[in-house]
């Protein structure tokens, strides 16, 4: 199979997977500008992989291509059957107005425009990173060999759990679901695994960028109540850029040493820790759990975004939202449960994010009820909503919980705090953008509150009030993202989980918490930057805030230095095209080993 044929086959497979689940995504993400178009790819791959895994671990269906195709067809017929037949199926409210009018919505020029632009962005990003991988395709170094080994072990498995290629006859004792997802798409597309490995990395880059784009355009459009246009497009582009492309400030601060700059240094700044972020992961191309779970993490953030939009749409009446969001809660349960099997750290992280978001919903809803709710009642209501998701997410993955033993050995107290200067190099841009947004929002809120205390307002006071924005419900959701991210950054300064790095004792804790914080701050600050830009341009013509925006521009530009150095370094400045076959380096460096491998694969 040629590289071009493999690329087209893999892309068409991803496109068809997304289309197969679009009615479901459209129903769930009814308030999204794209009606869940891009997220339907993640939903389809997640549900297909889960069904394949569950039937395989129960030894009901073996892991063969015909069975994967059969399962996909059944899932597709179920989803499209509900949509086309417009039956009530299981839940009376399953097919409501939003899904009945899907076709009418598709005929709407704005939705079609958003879908075409979004899919084009996905294809461009998928093609771009495939091109990058073709200059450095070798499945060699770091954790690539292990990840590829897990992927092939799964591809060769008849049933699950798959066998560990390092520990013969024993199942993989590791969070392998990301590798299983790669294996499912590989099996479905029939692309050889040595090529599919690199295409899966390219897919993860593309879905990270485009999913962030989808969340970004929806947040800003629903906040400032504008249709899809230049400003909304900019918010989406920045969301994708912040999440998938930019780095920290380390490269910009070392710009004078550009000839000798080593991009990996930016991910090991704080002594004895790991400070990785997505663009580094995509460059080094380890198909590891923290990378494979990015689509699920963004799906979870998108689901929380949908909740907040439904909450606003339904006049902040929480019970009404819950009735309309049963299927959304079910999908959220699946996404969080599968996150544990893909990247175990994301399981508690996104439960905490959901808990904080739910706590906000419940406490805000309490203000709109005649009876005053106590703190205990608010916490009880929050628990009633969060606990079923928590329990359900464990139950759906219970066979996995039974077969994989955790490696953690308890909690330890951190002995060495991170130097503040290094923390600012890592997070300075995000801190400045997030801090500016918090001050901007609360300055506006405090000013409006103070002026509301005045019994009468002069004309001048009314004009002053108009210059300040009124905080939107979405603004507070973005603040929750920021607060959660800050907690994740603070935690490894206090405690750590004891695991496999005794000398670098908090390395893994900081690594996984920082990684999730990066995703949250990327979405939050892309929104905050565009929100502030629009407000300052339209209403708050203040010299101080204009200067603040200028600093934000400079900091954002500075973070773009990192991907330039990293990509050029990893690809050898794009001087030698090698193709997508990740195993060809063995033929060149170890020809005798290559013959032995070919013989073993053939027998």
pLDDT tens per residue across span 220-275: 999 887 778 889 999 999 999 999 999 999 999 999 888 889 999 999 999 999 99
Asked if residues 468 and 448 have their Cβ atoms less than 8 Å apart, the reply is yes
Query: How far is CA 209 from its chain centroid?
Result: 9
- Predicted local distance difference test score (pLDDT) of residue 425: 96
Task: Round to whole Å and give the CA distance between 288 and 281.
Answer: 9
Nearest to 172 by CA among 161, 180, 182, 183: 161
Task: Write down the H helix ranges in 453-574.
Answer: 459-466, 473-490, 507-538, 543-559, 561-571
Q: Which pLDDT score is estimated for 466? A: 45
- Give tens-digit pLDDT for 109-135: 788 889 999 999 999 999 999 999 999
> For the chain, how many residues are written?
603
Spell out the domain ranges in the chain.
3-245+276-405, 412-558
What is the spatial distance between Cα 113 and Cα 111, in angstroms, rounded to a whole number?
5
In three-state secondary structure terms, 53 is: helix
Q: At what angle do helices 294-313 and 473-490 cross, to 10 degrees?
A: 150
CA distance 197 to 195: 5
Phi then psi dihedrals of residue 168, to 5 deg? -50, 140
Confidence of residue 104 (pLDDT cuts 50, 70, 90): low
Q: Residue 594 in contact with residue 587, Cβ under 8 Å?
A: yes
- Residue 460 clears pLDDT 80, i.e. is over it: no
HSE, CB side, 13 Å, CA atoms: give it for residue 160: 31
pTM as predicted: 0.91
Nearest to 299 by CA among 347, 344, 331, 343: 331
Is the CB of residue 459 less than 8 Å from the CB of residue 503?
no
Q: Which of 398, 281, 331, 288 is nearest to 46 (CA)?
A: 331
Alpha helices in 368-405 (DSSP H): 375-396, 398-403
Determine how β-strand 163-164 pairs with β-strand 167-171. Answer: antiparallel
Please tell me the predicted confidence (pLDDT) of residue 484.
96
> Per residue in 166-204, pLDDT tens?
887 888 888 899 999 999 999 999 999 999 999 999 999
Q: Collapsing DSSP states into helix, strand and coil, what is residue 170?
A: strand
**What span, in angstroms and rounded, lies between the C-alpha atoms of 33 and 229?**
11
Share of the chain above pLDDT 90, in %: 63
Q: How many whole angstroms separate alpha carbon 554 and alpha carbon 429?
A: 9
Residue 492 is given by DSSP the state G
């Amino acid at each position: 199979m040629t590289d071009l044929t493999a690329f087209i086959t893999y892309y068409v497979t991803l496109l068809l997977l997304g289309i197969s689940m679009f009615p479901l995504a459209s129903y769930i993400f009814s308030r999204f500008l794209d009606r869940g178009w891009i997220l339907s790819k993640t939903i389809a791959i997640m549900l297909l992989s889960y069904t394949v895994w569950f039937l395989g671990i129960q030894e009901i269906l073996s892991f063969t291509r015909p069975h994967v195709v059969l399962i996909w067809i059944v899932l597709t017929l179920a989803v499209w059957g509900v949509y086309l037949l417009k039956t009530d199926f299981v839940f009376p409210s399953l097919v409501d107005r939003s899904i009945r009018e899907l076709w009418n919505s598709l005929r709407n020029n704005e939705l079609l425009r958003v879908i075409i632009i979004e899919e084009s962005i996905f294809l461009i990003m998928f093609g771009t990173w495939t091109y990058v991988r073709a200059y450095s395709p070798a499945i060699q170094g770091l954790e690539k060999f292990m990840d590829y080994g897990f992927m092939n072990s799964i591809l060769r498995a008849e049933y699950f759990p798959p066998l560990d290629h390092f520990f013969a006859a024993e199942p993989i004792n590791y969070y392998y679901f990301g590798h299983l997802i790669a294996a499912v798409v590989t099996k479905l597309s029939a692309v050889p695994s040595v090529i599919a490995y690199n295409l899966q990395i390219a897919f993860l880059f593309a879905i990270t960028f485009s999913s962030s784009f989808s969340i970004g355009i929806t947040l800003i459009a629903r906040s400032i109540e504008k249709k899809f246009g230049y400003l909304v497009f900019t918010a989406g582009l920045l969301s994708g850029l912040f999440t998938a492309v930019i780095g920290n400030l380390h490269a910009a601060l070392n710009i004078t040493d550009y000839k000798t700059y080593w991009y990996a240094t930016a991910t090991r700044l704080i002594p004895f820790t790991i400070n990785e972020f997505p663009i580094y992961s995509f460059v080094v191309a380890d198909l590891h759990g923290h990378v494979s779970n990015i689509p699920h993490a963004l799906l979870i953030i998108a689901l929380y975004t949908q909740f907040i939009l439904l909450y606003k749409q339904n006049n902040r009446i929480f019970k009404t939202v819950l009735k309309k969001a049963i299927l959304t809660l079910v999908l959220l349960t699946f996404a969080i449960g599968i996150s544990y099997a893909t990247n175990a750290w994301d399981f508690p992280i996104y439960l905490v994010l959901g808990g904080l978001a739910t706590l906000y919903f419940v406490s805000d809803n309490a203000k709109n009820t005649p009876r005053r709710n106590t703190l205990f009642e608010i916490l009880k209501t929050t628990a009633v909503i969060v606990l079923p998701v928590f329990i359900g997410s464990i139950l759906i993955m219970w066979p996995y919980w039974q077969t994989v033993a955790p490696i953690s050995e308890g909690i330890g107290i951190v002995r060495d705090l991170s130097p503040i200067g290094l923390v600012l190099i890592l997070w300075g841009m995000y801190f400045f953008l997030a801090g500016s947004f918090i001050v901007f929002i609360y300055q506006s809120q405090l000013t409006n509150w103070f002026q509301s205390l005045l019994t009468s307002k002069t004309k001048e006071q009314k004009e002053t009030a108009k210059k300040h924005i009124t905080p939107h419900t979405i603004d507070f959701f973005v603040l929750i993202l920021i607060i959660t991210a800050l907690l994740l950054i603070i935690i490894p300064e206090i405690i750590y989980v004891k695991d496999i790095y005794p000398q670098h004792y908090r390395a893994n804790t900081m690594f996984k918490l920082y990684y999730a914080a990066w995703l949250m701050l990327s979405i939050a600050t892309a929104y905050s930057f565009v929100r502030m830009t629009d407000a300052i341009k339209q209403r708050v013509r203040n010299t101080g805030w204009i200067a603040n925006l200028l600093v934000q521009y400079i900091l954002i530009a500075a973070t773009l230095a990192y991907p330039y150095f990293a990509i050029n370094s990893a690809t050898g400045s794009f001087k030698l095209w090698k193709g997508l076959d990740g195993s060809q380096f063995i033929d060149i460096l170890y020809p005798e080993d290559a013959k032995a491998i070919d013989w073993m694969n053939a027998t």
